[in-house]
Amino acid sequence: MLKEFKEFIKRGNVLDMAIGIIIGAAFGKIVTSLVNDILMPPLGLLLGKVNFTNLFINLSGHYYKTLAEAKDAGAVTINYGVFLNNIIDFVIVSFAIFLFIRQLNKVKCQEEKQPTTKECPYCLSNIPIKATRCPHCTSELKA
């Protein structure tokens, strides 16, 4: 099992995965900042000067002006504004990943469409695309 683990690490899969996780975390921070600092303030302004992070339902019975005050007091709250921000984060990250995977699949399809064989003009056999001589009829082929 230890030998298999060493082979797994040597293949580079772990390094690729670690790089992906680091880039994903950084991308997540950028998207969170985009949502919280750029998208939600104008949206809140359009909806009547609402700060989405302060949208909450207080279950304790006391009045608190902001979510921070409620948390400091130890009140039990349902934070639906923060939940809405997280949903928007998720949608943006999901859409970005969708676009990335879509482009990656297009590149893969273009690579797969390139022929790897050609037909010998003399014996009509399939031969490698880079062949200069047919292995079946031994005819010389033009490049």
CATH for 2-128 is 1.10.1200.120
Is the Cβ–Cβ distance between 89 and 37 less than 8 Å? no
Round the average pLDDT of the chain to a whole number and report it.
83
∠ Cα 7 112 13 (to 5°):
20
pLDDT recorded at residue 29: 86
Check pLDDT > 80 for residue 12: no
| Position 90 confidence tier, pLDDT thresholds 50, 70, 90 | confident
| Position 9 confidence tier, pLDDT thresholds 50, 70, 90 | low
pLDDT recorded at residue 62: 87
Query: What is the crossing angle of helices 13-33 and 2-10, to 10°?
Result: 60
Structure-block tokens of residue 35: 């949502």
pLDDT recorded at residue 66: 87
